[in-house]
Amino acid sequence: MKKYVYPIIVSAVVIVYILAVMNQTPNTAIAEKNNQTNTAPAELFITGSATKSLKPDKASIILTVEIDGKTASEATDKNAEIMVRVVDVLHRLGIKDDEISTNYYNLSPIYVSKRSDNMCITIYPPPPECMEQILIGYKVINSINVIVDANSNLGKIIDESVSAGVNRVDYVSFFVSQELQDKITNELIEQAVNDAKSKAERALQPLNMSIIGVKSISVGYYPIPIFQESYRASGAVETSTPIFPSQQQISVSVNVTFLVQ
């Protein structure tokens, strides 16, 4: 009987060992998983913003000469003669050629409608075949765009141009140059990021947590609006036209995802 004792004892030890391994392995895996989860950083999404008011540094003036003539050449010649005088005036005011550009030019015929025969008088509304299009002349519209510093005497530019023959001042627009926009935008991006960081730190302070890194960041800004004023003028102006630029705002926002623990 003794020769069967040892194999039974060995088998029992093996079974106990296997059961112990089976019982310990899942618990060990769970512990390792929980340990990894506890060390992973949390994420905090914050939006920061910055805004600045500023005056435009540039102004655009659309000056137009609109002239009629009996023939196309008469209309173009009269228009060109007036526009040459206008450009000469602008030069005398210190405006350079690279600050003057053609905005719009158009030559078009002028027609009037007339009934073609007496029989059409009794028909109302007259059908198309009863109306005759008669050419009576040509119209030339020539517009130039003048871009100057916003602190220039825009009123004097307009008045002198009208005296030289301009009969339409279509728009006066104030805007911020790209150079100034880039400078201000870069400053505001830094301020917006600092704003987001400050908000995150205030939110984490009661939780005894802190920022350990940044997962992502995106930047956006709102375009600066252009102020426009429309004018219609004919003949000389005795007093200077007052024109003032308005304050404009540029805004930048940043979305930041902080890593915290």
Mind listing the pLDDT tens digit of every residue in the chain (261 residues)? 444 444 444 444 444 443 444 454 444 443 344 444 557 899 999 999 999 988 889 999 999 999 999 999 999 999 999 999 999 999 999 999 999 999 999 999 999 977 666 666 666 676 766 777 889 999 999 999 999 999 999 999 999 999 999 999 988 888 888 889 889 999 999 999 999 999 999 999 999 999 999 999 999 877 665 555 544 444 444 445 666 666 778 899 999 999 999
CATH number at residue 135: 3.30.70.2970
Residue with tokens 């252009």: 226
User: Are 166 and 208 in the same domain?
Assistant: no
- Distance between CA 22 and CA 176 in Å, rounded? 74
What is the count of structural domains for the chain? 2
- Distance between CA 49 and CA 126 in Å, rounded? 65
User: Are 170 and 89 in the same domain?
Assistant: yes
pLDDT of residue 171: 85
pLDDT of residue 249: 82
User: Are 233 and 170 in the same domain?
Assistant: yes
Range of the domain at 64: 58-176+225-242
Q: Is residue 13 part of a domain?
A: no
Q: Which residues contact 202 (CB under 8 A, 6 or more apart)?
A: none
Amino acid letter, 135: L
Nearest CA to 176 out of 144, 112, 210, 224 is that of 224
User: Are 108 and 205 in the same domain?
Assistant: no
pLDDT of residue 105: 97
pLDDT of residue 11: 43
- Distance between CA 121 and CA 187 in Å, rounded? 73
pLDDT of residue 118: 62
Count how many Cα atoms sit within 13 Å of the Cα of residue 188 in the half-sphere of its side chain.
22
Residue 178: burial class (beta carbons within 10 Å; 0-12, 13-18, 19+): exposed
User: Are 83 and 164 in the same domain?
Assistant: yes
User: Are 66 and 192 in the same domain?
Assistant: no
Count how many Cα atoms sit within 13 Å of the Cα of residue 39 in the half-sphere of its side chain.
6
Q: Is residue 18 part of a domain?
A: no
pTM of the model: 0.64
User: Are 85 and 150 in the same domain?
Assistant: yes
- Residues 175, 224 contacting (CB under 8 angstroms): yes
